[in-house]
Structure 1
Amino acid sequence: MPEAYWLYEDGIGEARAALVHDDGILAARIELPGRLRVGTIARARLTEFQLATLDSGEQVMLDRRPPGLTLGAALTVEVVREAIPEPGRAKRARARPTDAAPAAGPDLLARITAAGHPVRHLRAHEADALEQAGWSETLDEALTGDIAFPGGALRMSPTPAMTLFDVDGDGALDQLAERAAVAVAQAIRRHDIGGSIGIDFPTITGKAPRQAVAAAIDAHLALPFERTAVNGFGFLQIVRPRPRASLPELLRDDPAATATRAALRLLERAPPTAPNRHRLSPAVDACLAAQPDWLAELVRRTGRTPILNA
């Protein structure tokens, strides 16, 4: 069986990667520039009881306040969780005190390279291997929450408290629940979902069928994670590490910017002989106006200036 491999693309406004196996996406990752990454070690000052301000001006919550440290005192911190977008506000990045020397945290390319699978770098003039593997479909899952699986469908709903999966489908409920468990485990990996995860399975009777559903989660979701049993109402909860935002949280945080980056990807891949006039939505047009460096990078990469909405 062919080995899984990463596809990596240094896009305009984002870096993107997909772990591909058997022509399907096992894991999809997007990283936006300028974000404070896990593993970053930086100098800071204590500005509130458990709040530190980095020399760059960014603020991080501390896991613990070092004993004897007074407000305004200098310290060095290591980022252990990136900022998490939420409706109306964002959870600040979390950090812990450290004695290590300042250093930048590993970016997406460094992380996937360290994972051990081969990495293939994509170029805009090549065939679109990401799209062939199902990139657009994966992004649609993240944006809409609708995930199909054989004989059923999941509805994925990120909330500030947890990511929820609701199961719907046909056939015997115990078999539907087992298929759904596999689909949920695969979706968790594909969309990089961490923290608390709740799954609302169909209500199934009997200890053995509920244990089979839990076993399907165990078989298809890599450690580390903890879970409950399936209770009598069909609910199971999983808790996983959450070092950064999931793909749905990242894409839904700014839908206009998400759509703009996707549009730029298509524009960059347009053949030189293709028409150069493009009609964009008002939201994408406004986002491009607010991000002139993105359009400038497109011109630099393609060698021509697109005519937009003219």
Structure 2
Amino acid sequence: MPDWVVERGIGETRFALLEADQIIEARILLDGILPAGTIVDARLVSVGTNGRNALAVAPDSTELLLPHRPAGVAEGALLRLEIVREAIPGTEPWKRPLARPAAETPTPHPSPRSATIGELDRAGWSDLLDEAATGLIDFRGGQLRLSLTPAMCLLDVDGTLPPDELAVAGARAAAHSIRRFGVGGSIGIDLPTTHGKAPRAAAAAAIDAVLAGVPFERTAVNGFGFVQIVRPRRHASLPEIYAGDRAAAEARALLRRACTHVGALTLAAHPAVIAALERQPDWTDQLARQVGGAVALRSDPRLAISAGHAEPS
């Protein structure tokens, strides 16, 4: 049975759904973000226009958008609300979290277990982050290129297999990536043009098999090889987190790698990563407490943005 695990980190909390020691779904919750499913008592500060797009403020000062204002509620009233979509960084940082009136009986959610030491690494966490950061995902016989736009997430399939085989293999790999990265909203997959309807039907069936059991809708694969998928969007996907602030994401990943060290150390990284760490001094303070020694920073422009490392001081 797939098993959700959680790993608390510096600046973020990591979640992964594991099956046979492989990550089949993952997400990162940044510190300061109200998680989807959270129930808060917020104050209504604007009723919006014609009952739409009302605005409330949570106790931590987070502004929450209510697409549909509850009838009969005036400005200044307290509302018990449920977060249904978290703040989304990246291409749409202006989007407020979405909320709705909370049900009287909240839906219980199973609690993930704490990940054991090294569990996420053995399951390929670092490779997953590299794919999310670069948007390049290799599969046997081809490669996906993931691109974010304000309208949708696009996955382009290319490779060396014959077109009919590549369409099926690419559709399967794209569906796996959509789930692994936690991509929601509108998604487009551009498959190679195939010969006849049978390969297009097989590609659609491959998508259905991978996404079985999770909410989604899709169109048919059209004659040009394009298929659109729509999934609920409750939180930022891993690519959106990297697109939102690549340097900060790489800084948190570096802190995760460094926390296994013992004693004083120096973090050597690209100048953008060092600047991200300097903007969050509490992050290095937390690391210092974990490793039991002082943490220094060294900027090295020769290093790639993802090549930061820890050195004994």
Using the size of structure 1 for normalisation, the TM-score is 0.86
- Equivalent residue number for residue 286 of structure 2: 297
Q: Which residue of 2 aligns with 1:96?
A: 100
Q: How far apart, in 2, do the equivalents of 1:44 and 1:6 lie?
A: 30
Residue number in structure 2 paired with 1:81: 85
Distance 2:110 2:13 in 1: 12
Q: Report the count of equivalent residues.
A: 292
Q: Which residue of 2 aligns with 1:251?
A: 242
Q: Distance in 2 between matches of 1:174 and 1:66?
A: 51
Who is 2:169 aligned against? 179
Distance 1:6 1:73 in 2: 38
Contact 2:56 2:66 in 1 (8 A): yes
- 1:60-109: CA deviation from partner (whole Å, max 9, x where unpaired): 111311223333333222211111124363311111124649x9x99xxx
- CA deviation profile, 1:161-212 (whole Å, cap 9, x unmatched): 1111101011221111000111011111110111111001111131222111
Give the aligned residue type for 1:294: W
Uncovered stretches (5+) of structure 2, i.e. residues with no partner: 49-53, 300-313
SS for the counterpart of 1:84 is: coil
2:268 is aligned, of 255, 260, 279, to 279
How far apart are residue 142 of structure 1 and its match?
0.5
- Partners of 2:103 and 2:194 in 1: CA distance: 52
1:35 CA displacement? 0.8
For residue 30 of structure 1, give the secondary structure of its aligned residue in structure 2: strand
Moved more, 220-229 or 18-27: 18-27
Deviation at 1:6, TM superposition (A): 4.3
* Whole-angstrom CA distance in 2 between matches of 1:147 and 1:111: 31
2: CA distance between counterparts of 1:74 and 1:232? 52
2:260 is the counterpart of 1:266: no
Residues 86 and 160 in structure 1, CA contact (< 8 A), matched pair in contact too? no
Provide the C-alpha distance between the structure 1 equivalents of 2:12 and 2:164, rounded to a whole number of angstroms.
41
Q: Which amino acid aligns with 2:86?
A: E
State how far apart, in whole Å, the 2-side matches of 1:271 and 1:56 are.
Answer: 35
Distance 2:144 2:121 in 1: 22
The aligned counterpart of 2:131 is 141
Q: Which amino acid aligns with 2:129?
A: L
Asked if the contact 1:18–1:28 (Cα under 8 Å) also holds between the matched residues in 2, the reply is yes
Q: Is the Cα contact below 8 Å between 1:82 and 1:245 reproduced in 2?
A: yes
Change in CA separation of 1:63 and 1:111 when aligned onto 2, cut-off 3 Å: farther
1:8/1:122 contact within 8 Å kept: no
2:17 maps to 1:19:
yes
Deviation at 1:287, TM superposition (A): 1.9
Q: Structure 2 vs 1, CA of residues 89 and 23 (structure 1 numbering), >3 Å: closer, same or farther?
A: closer
Cα distance in 1 for partners of 2:88, 2:17 equals: 23
Q: Which amino acid aligns with 2:200?
A: R
Q: Distance in 1 between matches of 2:102 and 2:125?
A: 39
Structure-2 residue corresponding to 1:116? none
Structure-1 residue corresponding to 2:116: 122
